[in-house]
Amino acid sequence: MPSPAATTVEARVLNLLLPYHRTSGPGSPDPADHPEQLRQIRQFTDAGEPIVLTLPGFPCKSPNPAKVLGHLPDEGERLSLGFLDRLCARVAEVYEPGARMLICSDGHIFGDLIRVPDPLIDAYGDALRDLIRGAGLTRLDTFDLRDVHGDLDHDTKRRLVTEAFAPSVPSLRELARTDEETARLYRGITRFLVEDTADFTGTRSALQRECRTRAYGVIARSRAWGDLIAHHHPRSVRLSIHPQRPGSEKFGIRLLEAADAWATPWHTVVLRTRGGAARLMRREDAERVGRLVLRDGRPSHYEEV
C-alpha cells in the first residue's frame, strides 16, 4: 500500500524522476523516502507555479580526441536535451503548471583547470543554445558564467565566484579523508583530468600528482557554481549528473545509458546499437564496433555494424 505522501501531487512529480535516479547508496522507488526532493517540489506546487529544475552540467567537450568527436555538441547532447525536455512535458501531465529545466553550463567556471580554452567553451555553449532552439525544446533554458558579473572577462568572473562561494582546498582535502562521497568525487575527477591531459611532458606519476591538485580546484569551483545557482535560483529542484547519496539535497539523474556510472555526453560519444539503443562510450571504443554517422555535415555518433 503506498504511503500517504506517495499520493500527493509532488509525489506524482517525483515519481517521474525516480526511474532515472542516480544514487551512490541504496535507492528507493518510494517518493516518501526522498523528503528533501518533495520539499523542493512543494515550494512550487503549493504556490501553483511551474516547477523550476536546475541542472549543472553540459560544460564543454573533453579535450581528449580518444573520447569525443570534437568540441561541439553532438548526438549525446541532442538526445540528453530531448530527454530533459520530454521529462518536463510529462510533469505537465500530472501537474498542470508544468516544469522548466535550467541547464547551468559550468564549463567556464573551471575551464582553466581542465585546460579547455574559453573560446571553445563559448562555442560549445552557443551551439547548445542553437540545438535547443532548433529542436524546439521550449521547456529548457540555459545559464552560464556569461550571465553573471556583466561584461567582465572570464578570469575575473571565475575569481569573483570562487571568492564568494568556493570552499577552501584544505577543507576539501580534509573532507575527502573523512567523507566517502567527496573521496569518490575526487577520485573520479582526478581520473578525468589524467585522461584529458594530452600534452603533459613529465612522468605518469608527476601527471597524477598535478591532476590530484587540480581536482581539488575543480571540486571547489563546482561547489561554488552550485551555490551561485542556488543564490540566483533559491527556489528550485536541484539536480545533478553525478550519483548522490540518499537524503542529499541534490537528486542525481541519469541522462543516457552507459556502462561507466561517470560517463556523460561530453566525455563520450553515442553508439547506436543494432537494436536502436543509444549507449555512451569512448570514441576509440565506438570506432571498433561502429561506423561514423554525420548530421548536418558534422560527426554526430556511431552506428553498430
CA proximity to 77, closest of 59, 64, 89, 90: 59
Residues above pLDDT 90, as percent of the chain: 85
Q: How confident is the model over 98-141, as pLDDT tens digits?
A: 999 999 999 999 999 999 999 999 999 999 999 999 999 999 99
How far, in Å, CA of 133 to CA of 128, rounded?
A: 9
Tell me the average pLDDT across 266-293.
96
Start-to-end C-alpha separation, the chain: 47
Say if CB 54 and CB 104 are below 8 A apart: yes
Percent of the chain with pLDDT over 70: 98
The whole-angstrom separation of Cα 224 and Cα 240 is 14
Would you call 233 helix, strand, or coil by DSSP?
coil
Across all residues in the chain, what is the average pLDDT? Answer: 93
The mean-pLDDT minimum among 153-157, 238-242, 255-259 falls in 255-259
Task: Please state, in angstroms and rounded to a whole number, the distance separating the CA atoms of residues 11 and 52.
Answer: 16
Residue 136 burial by Cβ neighbours in a 10 Å radius (0-12, 13-18, 19+): exposed
Residue 36 has pLDDT above 50, yes or no: yes
pTM: 0.92
Contact 94, 47 (CB under 8 A): no
Find the mean pLDDT for residues 157-168. Answer: 96
Mean pLDDT for 82-88 is 97
Q: Write the CA distances from 71 to 68, 81, 100, 116, 140, integer angstroms.
A: 8, 17, 27, 10, 22
Q: Looking at residues 253-280, what average pLDDT do you find?
A: 90
Q: Are 189 and 215 in contact (CB under 8 A)?
A: yes
Residue 128 CB burial class (10 angstroms; 0-12, 13-18, ≥19): buried
Inform me whether the pLDDT recorded for 1 exceeds 70: no
Q: Examine the pLDDT at 240 and tell me if it is beyond 80.
A: yes
At 283-301, the pLDDT tens digits run: 999 999 999 999 999 999 9
> Tens digits of per-residue pLDDT, 176-231?
999 988 999 999 999 999 988 877 778 889 999 999 999 999 999 999 999 999 99
Inform me whether the pLDDT recorded for 3 exceeds 60: no
Mean local confidence (pLDDT), 251-257: 91
Asked if residue 4 has pLDDT above 90, the reply is: no
Residue type, 156: T
Q: Is the pLDDT of residue 24 over 70?
A: yes
Q: What is the mean pLDDT of residues 152-167?
A: 96
